[in-house]
Amino acid sequence: MADALGAWMRRARSAGASDDLVRMAEAMVAMGESPERVVPIRLSRAGVLTVACAGASEAQAFAARAEDLRDALRRRVPEVSLRSIRPVVADHVLGVEPPRPPPPRPPTPTDEEIARAGRIAESVGDPRLRELIARAAAARLALERRDPASDREKRPGGADPG
């Protein structure tokens, strides 16, 4: 949480945020607000504190307790004139990361990997189970081909399965 507040404060100061706004941000964090989800972005001359929220649910929850928060902020930062708090949905301000792209598709096993997987599973008596084990082994061998170092680190002693 301190990292998020520090990053916000560096951005805010470089953008010319007032000392009063920075004091409000520090007070909000001290009161338990998460700077990853809720950040004050503007303090108007009229004393309206605009707060960026990560989503509509955060904005609604923040609005429901805005009067209590306003009173608590007035007590914590009495030198700042604060009349009201206005939550807005502004996830772009918070630095919320966009959704990550889906992971890459697993590689398709080669004919050699399929044959090796068949040899691994050949001792299994049940044909359905043998087929499932062979398919899983072939998929695992294909993954090892794509990223061999990470697999060997996970196996005790780096033993070769086949």
Q: What is the CATH number of domain 2-94?
A: 3.30.300
**Where in the chain are the domains?**
2-94, 111-149
CB-facing half-sphere around the CA of 24: CA atoms within 13 A: 29
Give the Cα-Cα-Cα angle 43, 46, 47 (nearest 5 degrees).
50
Confidence of residue 119 (pLDDT cuts 50, 70, 90): very high
Report the distance separating Cα 51 and Cα 69, nearest Å: 12
**Exposed / middle / buried, residue 130 (Cβ in 10 Å: 0-12, 13-18, 19+):** middle
Q: Do the strands 38-43 and 48-53 form a parallel or antiparallel pair, or are they unpaired? A: antiparallel
Q: Identify which of 14, 21, 16 has the alpha carbon closest to the alpha carbon of residue 41.
A: 21
pTM, two decimal places: 0.51
Note the pLDDT tens digit of each residue in 71-89.
Answer: 998 998 898 889 999 999 8
Note the pLDDT tens digit of each residue in 120-159.
Answer: 999 999 999 999 999 999 999 999 988 876 554 555 555 5
Give the Cα-Cα-Cα angle 62, 63, 69 (nearest 5 degrees).
65
If residue 48 lies in a helix (H) or strand (E), which one and from where to where? strand 48-53
Neighbours of 73 (CB within 10 A): 20
Report the distance separating Cα 118 and Cα 137, nearest Å: 8
Decide if 49 contacts 82 (C-beta within 8 A). Answer: yes
